[in-house]
Structure 1
């Protein structure tokens, strides 16, 4: 029996890998939707594009016969956003666009709607020794996180008034082959052997490999314990910024030094250069508790941090030309 799974954001970092994984599930037919054309080698994947993701996007034809929606499309976090009203732009896509899709999915008889949210709904950081839990009071602070939180609230309301089940997943920083943004920049800097003042950062951050996130999504498609629940996800092992840089450097066999500069001096220098918020992300802690995943879903990370980083670096060394 064929089961249809619709994936949005299918041409993105997560979406591309997710579509290929889901296409290999027995009986699956994947409908891969994005604003750009999705490339796939699987014959059981139907691709399509949408002009925009907002409150007016028509989904009815695409949702016919669909069992599960995995909604990964979003207006992602933009550093130094210069929009006049950034919250309105995030809401248009991440809140109104999400709820429009969900309402049409419920009307079409979709059984389960999986929403890829963000750990930023919980907050920007955790105190040393503390961690976020899925039942903590949300504390979003920037437009991106606020828009995601509002979408979560609307989805849970819809779940209470319809037969469609909702699953909310809040990933921490996701890394893996093809990772972009700050993680990619760190690898490029380490490869060049540039000395970095990151040899004495005593924080703790949760990360999640692309493989582990996709595996949790797979479980949430069918597991009865996932219905109408919120889950945080990580690799289950936290690293300091120093340890992360050391492991990446080791896998690259890079020669650059990690200079043990006191955190207070790093923060002072970053503040003087107008980079205080960037330094806070590098120096701060952000840890999550994934015990709910183990207890409710019998899920635990299948890929270790070490293996996930090794796979990421190997892909980077072969493909990156910057």
Structure 2
């Protein structure tokens, strides 16, 4: 089996490459920056894993049109070439943010998409295009909507939180009560591998998330345990914290409104659909197991 991977130099791409190489699968890197990338779509491959894209910029400095040029237009161009190729499967790595920027209860695949950010709208417009195309017989399309992905080597808000605890700085956002879904890179690898190997599966849209959600305060506890440090939580008034975050929207301080939202909002994602279709009860790693593995890699 041969797999074409776009965005193979990124965190998810590197992990998928290593995972499938261990499984004895050949992977082919496809850089969409290469003006001749279209020629690689003619190779004898079984699936395209389209990971390349412009990630959500929490610093809010990106030009909006860049999201649409990269996340939408390049996806459309790649998918059109897939349609006339001999490749069976196309995996488009979209995002839960293509559906909703905030979640009141639990996000599942039935929720009507109403993305607000340029990132979410660009992913959603790419989804809409490829879903409206007619798939030739024998081909399959899978739209994957992962939530926040983590794993050894991944830098992001988890790393920011880790460094706060490591420096013995009390966590000042303990007054915010939330629940968030995460996705271990090991669970992501497992799910992609399982879908590819299930010939009976039909085209579909799937949310990817770990089985259980975690609060930010619980994360602070996990990090403290990993570092063998005493848990330090400060329950500062949320209204005061939000004022500080607004200053961060204009000044170079660690906290801004977007980062505050990511650290404190509730965002619970259901993975029931993919588990039902694969006939599994639980994913290989629990949220706690996956997060501990990630946190230990930061040391």
Q: TM-score, normalised by structure 2?
A: 0.90
The structure 1 residue matched to 2:37, chosen from 58, 61, 70, is 58
Q: Does the 8 A contact of 2:72 with 2:122 survive in 1?
A: yes
1:305 maps to 287
Q: Which has the higher contact order (CA 8 A, sep 6+)?
A: 2
Per the alignment, in what secondary structure is the counterpart of residue 60 of structure 1? Answer: helix
Aligned CA distance change for structure 1 residues 57 and 228 (closer, same or farther; 3 Å): farther
Per the alignment, in what secondary structure is the counterpart of residue 3 of structure 2? Answer: strand
Q: Which moved more, 1:217-226 or 1:67-76?
A: 217-226
Structure 1 distance, partners of 2:92, 2:200, is 16
1:1-322 matched pairs, under 5 angstroms: 3-26=1-24, 28-34=25-31, 50-51=32-33, 58-83=37-62, 86-127=63-104, 130-160=105-135, 163-224=138-199, 226-255=201-230, 257-271=232-246, 273-274=248-249, 275-299=256-280, 300-317=282-299
Following superposition, the deviation at residue 62 of structure 1 comes to 4.5
Following superposition, the deviation at residue 206 of structure 1 comes to 0.5
Following superposition, the deviation at residue 271 of structure 1 comes to 3.7
Unpaired runs of 5+ residues, structure 1, are: 35-49, 318-322
Count of matched residue positions in the alignment of Structure 1 and Structure 2: 292
Following superposition, the deviation at residue 159 of structure 1 comes to 4.6
Unpaired runs of 5+ residues, structure 2, are: 250-255
User: CA offsets per residue over residues 153-201 of structure 1, 9 Å max, x none?
Assistant: 1221235466531101111101110111222111122111111213333
Aligned CA distance change for structure 1 residues 61 and 171 (closer, same or farther; 3 Å): closer
Aligned CA distance change for structure 1 residues 251 and 78 (closer, same or farther; 3 Å): same
TM superposition outliers: structure 1 runs of 4+ over 6 Å: none
Structure 2 distance, partners of 1:213, 1:194, is 32
Q: TM-score, normalised by structure 1?
A: 0.84
Query: Cα RMSD over matched residues?
Result: 2.1
